[in-house]
Amino acid sequence: MLNTLSILSSSNSDIHVSLKAEKVFEIGGVTVTNSMLYGLIVAAFMAIVLIMLAKKSRVKAQKGAVAVLEVVVEFVIGVLEGAFGNRKQAYKYAPLFATFFLFILFSNTLGLIPIVGPGITVDSIPIFRPFTADLNGTLVMAVIAIIAVQVLSIKAQGFKGHFQHYFSDKPLNPINFFIGILEVFGEFTRILSLALRLFLNTAVGEILIAVFTSLILSGGRTPIAVIPIILFELLVAGIQAYVFTVLSATYLSLAISHAHPEEDHEPSAQKVEELTA
């Protein structure tokens, strides 16, 4: 997707940060990049952890990792409730949007451990690269999110109701038709917005950590100085997971608002304007 853009420092600091995912190996003519490999590992790890914790979850309040998972899930449901306007729909769509939230959170958080990035390299190529630091990866996630919005909208109100979301009930009216075309085009701009927002924040964080770590190690100073950057990236990881999830959920809320006219979806529209500003 991108040309080979990279930041190469002087030989003293020995920094190499590529903005393009790099080839690790091929399988049957298919190139597997370091971001793809990392994404598969994170997905598998997340699935194993969540299945193990789900088996330990009970109606009675739990402690430890199970309690943390319950807090995260309740947080996601609360976010969805704010987007959809009611808890019933929040529970209904929680599995999809919780998956987005947790995958981004896992991917960005695990990307801070030393073995990710320049920690393990072969011929100067990192074996693992954060999936969300690859524009191809974030584009795939954004496309899946927007397609899911279309599918769930059609499922909730039928094709006719979904069509009217764009062109109203009088699509042959020239003004309605023109507005509908703009609305359809807007779905593609949403894909770019979701993908670029997630990619740029992760990629810039990766560069910052690489630069500061190199300066600290090359200068012989204490590694403690890089801790504020890592803590800041942990905060950004949570924020990006939240923003991607709430925007995707809000897009679906706006799409199915015609199927639930008795519900007030105006706050969701306002939330889109605030988050995309």
The residue among 221, 16, 245 whose CA lies nearest residue 119 is 16
Cβ neighbours for 162, distance < 8 A, ≥ 6 positions apart: 150, 153, 154, 255
The residue among 243, 203, 44, 226 whose CA lies nearest residue 108 is 203
Q: Where are the alpha helices (DSSP H) in 85-173?
A: 87-110, 135-167
Other CB atoms closer than 10 Å to residue 149's CB: what's the count? 23
Residue 40 pLDDT:
92
pTM of the model: 0.79
pLDDT in tens, 205-262: 777 776 766 665 554 455 566 677 778 888 888 888 999 999 999 999 888 876 555 5
Domain regions of the chain by residue span: 6-275
> 3-state class of 169 per DSSP?
coil
